[in-house]
Structure 1
Amino acid sequence: MAEVLSVNVARARTNPDPRGQSNVTGIDKVAAAEAVAVRAPGPMHGGLGSGLVGDTIGNPKVHGGDDQAVYAYAREDLDDWEIQLQRTLTNGMFGENLTTSGIDVTNARIGERWRVGSDGVVLEVSAPRTPCRTFAAFLHLNHWIKTFTQAGKPGAYLRVISPGSVRGGDTITIDHRPDHDVTIGLVFRARMSEPELLPRLLVADALSAELKEYAQRRASSNPR
């Protein structure tokens, strides 16, 4: 059974990256004890930031907004990282809002819709997470961006299609799966290490606006 193990919201803290674009970061997330309201936050610039009420977006220039409203990461992938890094990773430690179990986040298709819990929440897969210096500094890991990129398990951003409340223990049901093959893993590889894959992304209508524009620009500048 696919489910949400925990719903995580930020403990706002000073950005551990001294060269960061923002002095505050919301990457340090912990499980909420109660249900958390979820809604579309609006545009990245000038909107509400996170899709979760009570969460914090430290740098609204590059994080948050409708296409990055909710970030999900699989507990199974965190468990693999625990073995590789030889350290304990609690739910929310990768900055994810939803720590999931029983759903293959890396192979989720762009435009796939998840119904979460019984309060009518529907989320749509929109993009992979791109690692940043704040992420590396928070974990105190040298070369973390390279290591995370090579692993190819970025987690998924989702947009809010239908609002409501979510809580730990909520089931996740896939309501809709598009018939293309553009997955979170494929998009991440195309964006981070295999640009020759970028034209393949354009069949995914639900791809985030930023990545769609990037793929279109690169495809038009390198026509076959």
Structure 2
Amino acid sequence: MIGSAILSSRGVIKRFGGFTALNGIDFDLGDRERVGLIGPNGSGKSTFVNCLTGALPHEGKVVFADSDITTMPAWRRARAGLARSFQIPRPFRGLTVRQNIGVPLSFISGVSDQDELNAKANHVLEQVGLLSRADASPKSLSQVDLRKLELGRALAAQPRVLIADEAMAGLSDSEVDEILDLLIQLNNSGIAIILIEHIMRAVIRFSQRVVVFVAGAKIADGDPREVLDHPEVVRAYLGQ
């Protein structure tokens, strides 16, 4: 971990009936750190993120910015600066790109003045490279621009931590590089980022540290290339 922890979990367990989806997860994210979270499908990555962000109740403890947020509802965690984007963008298709940013901005900041809201939305759109499409409909956006809009909606919370859930799935190599450049730029601005991703070249380029889940357990945590060479990780991905 780089720096002091901005987000931590201790002993996080999540059960669905008799099935244990997470089995005692300890995790730390350093302030301004970039961490890749990987694992086979069904390994518990999304369940863990849902526990961190308050979408799912769980056993164990979650601490954000030195405060115990274990029982804090998801909306309060978002307002506190813990934001996430989703794998499948679902913008409000009846609103413009700018208005899509304005919805979470208004909720998080409480700003009601339209000129101020538009100015703040424009700033977010400039950050994600969509300012020129501010008045467009999301229906007209390409897949890569929809991913940028999804990240922009998360950025509207002015997060200290951003969890990006498969922000590059289905994109071309050049589009993957666009999203990587954007995420690294956001990290350089001071945001700690957890990236959930299956594209290994993206994970290696992005991550300062990689954490691997298999069957609800954390099996590796460390330098990206060392982790990907770990025998347990190789077995998990290649079935050896």
TM-score range, shorter chain: under 0.3
TM-score where L is the length of structure 1 = 0.26
TM-score when scaled to structure 2? 0.25
Is the helix fraction higher in 1 or 2?
A: 2
